[in-house]
């Protein structure tokens, strides 16, 4: 059966009190609406249409998805009107129209697939996915007759006293056969709100003698709509919990599940251990048997197998290869690559730096715009001076080089294979392979200088004391 998915995302989201459309606020690292479109893709529909409002351009830019079509609802006239705005994109379509809401980031494809099977099995013209709400006040009520047949969906503001006691509510997910689309034109405006309710398509179908059903198969948390910051937080915590449970079920150890924050695009290998207060963000990939210690943040990076990331380290847009060690208190900036068995220690900062196999920079160094070969030792306090105020230049350090502590390498410069740089040197010229480069001022030792200086200081102190005493006598 052919299917098309229409996602209603034209709401203004005024209760978010934000210049950003509510559907672009993020839950576990991805926009709310992207979470819904990801679910729609899992349904393998023939087309995805997103109905937007005045923020349409922002939404298109944020999603940046060529497989999505967009329809514009110029005025916020309700969900029924929003679907009407998508009719042009559905011209000639034959099959089942799936309607989702753009502000429900927790909806699962598995639930929608189950719902569609029931819709097709029972040959409904219109089906509604429902669930039981502990507090139904914010939802439309599912009204059934004595036999359980769906009669209508009544919004809270229009419900009578008996209907308000109903706990089965509308999730906002519909399956509508294509030949019912003309019924959208029969939906009448709700006078209290000045809007066209999509819920009224049920009544319109029944009036035409068509079969309608509501399937109570959803869970309340899954269909949580995000309209406020508090709801955004709740949705984020719910999704985070599910993500951590998922990876724990695949062999990952979390020492404190509540304090770890993980994005939906993150993957983690078996037998990896994650300590408290760790943030794994974006499209980060963590390998197997890796250990991530407390207070670490990793964004859009690839971490290999058997890697150790020590406390309070930040890694962004970089690659850490197998058996490497990073931290504590290291900063790995975008474009860096740390090779197999390499070691980057405390208070070391990398920026667009490629570190070769088994090389090490153990402490207190800045390595920017740098290519470092295998087996290199970077002494404490080493700086690659990559910026001259106008442009950035490369420093190349070939394999087996030893850089003494407190050295400055002024780019562009090349340190040849096996060369040694004496501690405290400022290197401005290329160093040939296996050479020793030293650039220090010759040390001078002046014997007795400290004693002479102390004598001068003591004499000066006594002189000041006499002057102050004389001034007081006057």
- H helices of 122-193, in order, are none
Per-residue confidence (pLDDT) for residue 469, from 0 to 100 = 62
Per-residue confidence (pLDDT) for residue 88, from 0 to 100 = 87
Which structure tokens are listed for 419? 């060369």
Model's pTM, two decimal places?
0.89
- As assigned by CATH, the class of the 249-437 domain is mainly beta
* CB distance 338 to 323 below 8 Å: no
Domain boundaries defined on the chain = 3-223, 249-437
Please give the chain's pLDDT, 474 residues, in tens.
799 999 999 988 889 999 999 999 999 999 999 999 999 999 999 899 999 999 999 999 999 899 999 999 999 899 999 999 998 899 889 999 999 999 999 999 999 999 999 999 999 999 999 999 999 988 999 999 999 999 999 988 889 999 999 999 999 999 999 988 888 888 888 877 788 999 999 989 998 899 999 999 989 999 999 999 999 999 999 999 999 999 999 999 999 999 999 999 999 999 999 999 999 999 999 999 999 999 999 999 999 999 999 999 999 999 999 999 999 999 999 999 999 999 999 999 999 999 999 999 999 999 999 999 999 999 999 999 999 999 999 999 999 999 999 999 999 999 999 999 999 999 999 999 999 999 988 889 999 999 999 998 888 777 766 666 666 555
Per-residue confidence (pLDDT) for residue 462, from 0 to 100 = 76
Catalytic residue among 119, 363, 463, 472: 363
Whether 463 is catalytic: no
The dihedral over CA atoms of 273, 278, 280, 285, expressed in degrees to the nearest 10, equals -30
Under DSSP, the state recorded for 188 is P
Give the separation between CA 70 and CA 56, rounded to whole angstroms: 8
The DSSP string of 232-275 is HHHHHHHHHHHHHHHHHTTT-EES-GGG-EE-TT-EE-TT-EE-
Per-residue confidence (pLDDT) for residue 468, from 0 to 100 = 63
- CATH architecture group of domain 3-223: Alpha-Beta Complex (3.90)
Q: Report the interhelical angle of 109-121 vs 32-42 (nearest 10°).
A: 50
b/e string for 104-134 if b means 16 or more Cβ within 10 A? bbbbeeebbeebbeebeeeebbbbbbbbebe
Residue found under tokens 């963590």: 286
């Amino acid at each position: 059966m052919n299917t098309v998915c229409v996602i209603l995302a034209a709401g203004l989201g005024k209760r978010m009190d934000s210049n950003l459309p509510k559907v672009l606020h993020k839950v576990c690292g991805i926009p709310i609406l992207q979470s819904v479109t990801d679910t729609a893709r899992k349904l393998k529909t023939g087309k995805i249409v997103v109905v937007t409002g005045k923020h349409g351009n922002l939404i298109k830019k944020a999603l940046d998805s060529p497989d999505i079509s967009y329809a514009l609802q110029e005025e916020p006239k309700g969900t029924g009107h929003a679907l009407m705005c998508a009719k042009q994109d559905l011209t000639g379509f034959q099959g089942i129209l799936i309607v989702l809401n753009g502000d429900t980031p927790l909806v699962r494809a598995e639930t929608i697939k189950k719902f569609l099977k029931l819709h097709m099995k029972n040959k409904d013209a219109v089906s509604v996915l429902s669930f039981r709400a502990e507090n139904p006040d914010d939802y439309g009520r599912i009204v059934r007759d004595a036999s359980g047949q769906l009669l209508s969906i009544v919004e809270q503001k229009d419900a009578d006293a008996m209907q308000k006691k109903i706990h089965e509510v509308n999730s906002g997910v519909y399956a509508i056969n294509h030949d019912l689309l003309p019924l959208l034109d029969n939906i009448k405006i709700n006078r209290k709100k000045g809007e066209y309710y999509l819920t009224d398509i049920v009544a319109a179908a029944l009036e035409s003698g068509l079969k309608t059903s509501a399937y109570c198969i959803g869970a309340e948390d899954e269909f949580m709509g995000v309209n406020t910051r508090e709801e955004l937080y709740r949705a984020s915590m719910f999704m985070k919990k599910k993500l951590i449970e998922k990876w724990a079920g695949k062999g990952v150890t979390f020492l404190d599940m509540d304090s770890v924050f993980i994005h939906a695009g993150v993957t983690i290998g078996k037998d990896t251990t994650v300590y408290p207060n760790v943030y794994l963000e974006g499209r980060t990939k963590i390998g197997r048997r890796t250990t991530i210690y407390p207070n670490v943040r990793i964004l859009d990076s690839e971490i290999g197998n058997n890697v150790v990331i020590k406390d309070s380290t930040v890694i962004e847009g970089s690659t850490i290869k197998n058996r490497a060690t990073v931290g504590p208190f290291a900063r790995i900036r975008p474009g860096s690559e740390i090779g197999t068995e390499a070691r980057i220690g405390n208070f070391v900062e990398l920026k667009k730096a490629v570190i070769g196999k088994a090389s090490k920079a153990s402490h207190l160094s800045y390595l920017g715009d740098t290519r470092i070969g295998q087996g290199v030792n970077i002494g404490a306090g080493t700086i690659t001076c990559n910026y001259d105020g106008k442009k950035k230049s490369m420093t190349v350090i070939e394999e087996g080089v030893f850089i003494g502590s407190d050295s400055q390498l002024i780019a562009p410069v090349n340190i040849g294979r096996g060369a040694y740089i004496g501690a405290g040197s400022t290197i401005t010229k290329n160093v040939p392979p296996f050479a020793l480069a030293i650039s220090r001022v010759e040390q001078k030792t002046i014997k007795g200088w400290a004693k002479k200086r102390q004598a001068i200081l003591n004499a000066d102190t006594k002189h000041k004391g006499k002057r102050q005493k004389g001034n007081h006598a006057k």
